[in-house]
Structure 1
Amino acid sequence: MNELIQLLPKAELHMHIEGSLEPELMFKLAERNGIELPYDSVDELKAKYNFNNLQEFLDIYYQGCAVLQTEQDFYDLAWAYLEKAKDDHVVHTEIFYDPQSHTNRGIPFETAINGLYRAFDDAQNQLGISFHIIACFLRHLPEQDALDLYPKIFENRDKILGIGLDSSEMGHPPEKYQKVFAQAKKDGFKVVAHAGEEGPAAYVREAIDILQVDRIDHGNRCLDDDILTAQIAKAGLALTVCPLSNLKLQVVKDLKDHPIKTMLNKGLMATINSDDPAYFGGYINDNFYQLAEAVSLSDDQIFTLVENSFKASFLPESIKEIHLKALNSFGSHE
């Protein structure tokens, strides 16, 4: 089973680039930039990675962002992820980044996007990994902050394919961001939103009905509403599911309880992704390995999840077909 997972070419659709900042690189960048971290060692930092909820994770996540100061820092961050993606046979990735996590601490918008884009462009040429970049708004901040930032995103639309919504979910329903999402849709951006990770099924419905998302990030709690679940399945709206994140943030208490099989059985286009792999214990193949063992995924189910990753991507249909044909060369499934 693990051999099949390793062999299959795959797309990753839910990965926060800041969440791939490994402790070793965090210390290296801190030293490079003369920043003193509140930890004496990598081991001490890793010991903090026992989270009881999303907010506890976010507190340390934003703290880690402080070491990202220069365009080269963002390049190095992205390249470190891309090398791991290459090892996991990821051939296409659609990554999130949080502009406000950087502009709000005085880092120019261009510093982050230029560093990230240069790394991904180099990886497309050198590693054979295609990419899209999605700029996410921090939902705990007022919508006006997003509206103020939006012109910068629009100016960089040659580098940014879509916008997303992340950060603290509870108490920050999708409807809060209706105006900026409507503008982004009007301007031709793809739009996605985190919904139904800790928040209720109603947040998933808002993301669909009010924000008119092209894809749902997480979406676990949609299963609490049978009518909503059926609607999502009928519409072919994908869920970017993150098993190890769900476990680490106690969305599920045990990976054996993960609802991935229920999602597939209900006809949902579920995909597997790593979310914030440096903090949650593994990159995309680790998520597949551990989930497959915990819930006894069949080869056909693994194949379907990988197939879904290409179908749910924002690649042109002609390119999707090329990837799906390559995937099918590894064997058929019914």
Structure 2
Amino acid sequence: MDTFGETHTPAALPVAELHLHIEGTLQPELIFALAERNGIELPYKDIDELRAKYEFTDLQSFLDLYYANMAVLQTEQDFADMTRAYLQRAADAGVRHAEIMMDPQAHVQRGVPLAICVNGVASALATSEQDFGVSTLLIAAFLRDMPEDNAIDVLNQLIAINAPIAGIGLDSAEVGNPPSKFERLFRRAKDAGLHRIAHAGEEGPASYITDSLDLLDVERIDHGIRCMEDEALVQRLVKEQVPLTVCPLSNVRLRAVDTLADHPLPAMLAAGLNVSVNSDDPAYFGGYVDDNFRELVGVHDLSVGERALLAANSVRSAFLDNARKEALLAQIHRWEIASED
């Protein structure tokens, strides 16, 4: 379904969002609303106090708050409301397709049944194109700071309940948790016919990118910015056109990059790498996809052609059939023509 120009403003660059953690879209207002609905007492007196905690020194300082705020997610309706709120904001941002990660282990380990979190998110995704003009896929992301056996157990449960997941990912604390720790998990996912992606090269070294490709047989790399430290790896990524789902505002907020002016995305694009722009955890990192593009344009003066290329990269890197890709690429082409006039 090609909805561009019918329900959305032509001013929004049409994109696919490939690196998005649904739990990272929990806005402070929704956190307080869900806490009230579920009778949960938050450790913050008001929204301002919560927002004041959104200054992170590294990935772990963010993860601590990210996991703590998940406590408000208790029912299928909670998960559905969170997902629908993201879809509405994403549609306004120009997102036409989203491949959404959720962290099932984080919910199961705090006592929420697997079916509750999966069904809640999936119920909103089932009508996402009809309701918001955004096609969607669900990806189960596994926590690399937990044991592989636990991840395999949860994956087997997901398969047993026929959960509507299109693939698996690997996220959470990268340092000290190499891709080699999860070879059996990714082999199980491949045997089940699932797509495979992994965070690598954000805080971890460039070698984690290589290992994710060679040991886990992933199809996409989330982040991947530290590939620029290894010229041979850059050449390989260019040759193979491995998708790198880059999250500029996230990288700055988590101190993986000092400032947006220092971000390697323009250099990555110039090198011929297959990079796209994504929001990661937009409620925590100061922006959705359109915000990321707006700030990149302001700092790096990205041309209309460069923005269109980044958007086209996102679509070509999505786990979509060719017909849907061609429809989305046509939307981007129309945006580029209109923007150059």
SS of 1:331's partner is helix
2-structure distance, mates of 1:168, 1:30: 27
SS of 1:14's partner is strand
Q: What is the CA-CA distance between 1:5 and the residue it aligns to?
A: 9.2
Cα shift readout 1:192-230 (whole Å, capped 9, x = no counterpart)? 000000000011111011001000000001111000111
1:265-304 maps to which residues of 2 (within 5 A)?
265-304=270-309
Query: TM-score, with normalisation over the residues of structure 2?
Result: 0.94
1:316 corresponds to 2:321:
yes
1-structure distance, mates of 2:89, 2:155: 31
- Contact kept? 2:63, 2:172, Cα under 8 Å: yes
SS of 2:127's partner is helix
1:170 corresponds to 2:175:
yes
Aligned to 2:104: 99
Q: What is the CA-CA distance between 1:156 and the residue it aligns to?
A: 4.8
Cα shift readout 1:99-151 (whole Å, capped 9, x = no counterpart)? 00100011011101111011111222121210000000000001011111111
Q: What is the CA-CA distance between 1:6 and the residue it aligns to?
A: 4.0
Q: Which amino acid aligns with 2:142?
A: F
Aligned to 1:260: 265
Gaps of 5+ in 1: none
Between 1:72-81 and 1:157-166, the stretch displaced more is 157-166
- Contact kept? 2:138, 2:167, Cα under 8 Å: yes
Gaps of 5+ in 2: 1-8
- Contact kept? 1:6, 1:285, Cα under 8 Å: no
Cα shift readout 1:46-94 (whole Å, capped 9, x = no counterpart)? 0000000000000000001110000000000001101101111211000
- Give percent identity, aligned residues only: 49
* Alignment coverage as a number of residue pairs: 330
Aligned to 2:152: 147
Q: Which amino acid aligns with 2:126?
A: D
The 1:61–1:158 alpha-carbon spacing in structure 2 relative to 1, beyond 3 Å, is: closer
SS of 1:164's partner is strand
Q: Which amino acid aligns with 2:310?
A: L
Q: What is the CA-CA distance between 1:157 and the residue it aligns to?
A: 4.7
Q: What is the CA-CA distance between 1:317 and the residue it aligns to?
A: 1.7
Q: What is the CA-CA distance between 1:7 and the residue it aligns to?
A: 2.6
1:188 corresponds to 2:189:
no
